[in-house]
Amino acid sequence: NAGVTQTPKFQVLKTGQSMTLQCAQDMNHEYMSWYRQDPGMGLRLIHYSVGAGITDQGEVPNGYNVSRSTTEDFPLRLLSAAPSQTSVYFCASTPQGADIQYFGAGTRLSVL
Amino acid sequence: GESVGLHLPTLSVQEGDNSIINCAYSNSASDYFIWYKQESGKGPQFIIDIRSNMDKRQGQRVTVLLNKTVKHLSLQIAATQPGDSAVYFCAENTGGSYIPTFGRGTSLIVHP
């Protein structure tokens, strides 16, 4: 199993551009989440999903959209990138009934 | 609001020493705690967990201690090795929620 795969690994955007961060998992996990990690800070939850077709907002959802059309994929869309969205983004998945999260390697995003 | 926090942001130890990383939590309803390790450039990885009906749990070279009286959690790493250098996060869950609350993290630096 590949686990949780995030693409791209690195991305540079200009202010106002839009893009989609991809996340895919091959473990048939029901739950998936997106976090951002800023220097000296912990992980802050952006959006999460408890199953295909179901998404909900986390702690810092503004400026981001998500969708969950399949169990495997959970893309994160930046609608109009801002410098404040420069961060490292992590996707995670969790099997139903469990609590341990499995993280991807992250996407390092810079917005100029 | 209630949150998970860490006492020390950086811990430096010599190779072979034992390391203790501390975490304070304030949500008395939390009943499940997890430690994650994040190596440079990677996503967090599960190390060990403990439920609130336990006060100690041991793994390979790691031990987690839970003191519910003072709402304190610690991760002990025996015979610390250079490969243990990483950021360590504690996370707490409340029953029924699979989305944990993460602390800020402690950077462990192991000197050879």
Q: Block means of pLDDT (10 residues each) for chain A, length 112 residues?
A: 92 97 96 91 91 94 96 97 97 89 96 96
For residue B2, the model assigns a pLDDT of 38
Q: What DSSP string runs through A29-49?
A: -SEEEEEEE-TT--EEEEEEE
Inter-chain residue contact B9 with A40, CB threshold 8 Å: yes
Nearest beta carbon to residue A105 from set B43, B49, B98: B43
| pLDDT value, residue B103 | 86
Q: Do B98 and A102 touch (CB under 8 A)?
A: no
Q: Taking a C-beta distance cutoff of 8 angstroms, is the pair A94, A25 a contact? A: no
Mean pLDDT within B54-70: 95
For residues B61-65, average pLDDT: 97
Give strand pairing partners of B63: B58, B76
Q: How would residue B3 be classed by pLDDT, with cut points 50, 70 and 90?
A: very low
**Cβ distance of B43 and A4 shorter than 8 Å:** yes
Averaged pLDDT for residues B41-66 = 95
Q: Which of B73, B60, B89, B81 is closest to B27 using CA atoms?
A: B73
For chain B, say whether A49 makes contact (Cβ under 8 Å). no
Tell me if B34 and A40 make a contact (CB, 8 A cut-off).
no
Q: Given CB atoms, is A98 within the 8 Å cutoff of chain B?
A: yes
Q: What percent of chain B has pLDDT over 70?
A: 90
Give the closest residue to B33 by CA, choosing from B4, B62, B70: B4
Count interface pairs A-B at CB distance under 8 A.
Answer: 46
pLDDT at residue number A32: 96
Residue pLDDT, tens place only, B8-53: 489 999 999 999 999 998 788 899 999 999 999 999 999 999 999 9
A93: contact with B, CB 8 A cutoff? no
Cis link prior to A8 (omega < 30° from 0)? yes
- Determine the pLDDT at residue B9: 83
Q: Which residues of B touch A43 (CB under 8 A)?
A: 44, 89, 102
For residue B7, what pLDDT is reported? 42
Average pLDDT, chain B: 89
* Residues in chain B within 8 Å Cβ distance of A58: 99
Radius of gyration of chain B (CA): 13
CA angle A5, A98, A27 (to 5 degrees): 30
Beta-strand ranges (E) seen in chain B are 4-5, 10-14, 19-25, 30-38, 45-51, 56-58, 62-67, 72-77, 86-94, 101-102, 106-111
- pLDDT tens across B72-108, in order? 999 999 999 999 999 999 999 886 677 888 888 899 9
**What tokens does A24 get?**
């895919």
The pLDDT value given to residue B72: 94
Distances (CA, A) of B47 to A102, B16, B58, B64, B106: 11, 19, 11, 10, 14
Question: What residues of A are in contact with residue B59 (Cβ under 8 Å)?
Answer: none
> How far apart are the C-alpha atoms of A93 and A91, rounded to whole Å?
7
Tell me which chain B residue has its CA closest to the CA of residue A106.
Answer: B43
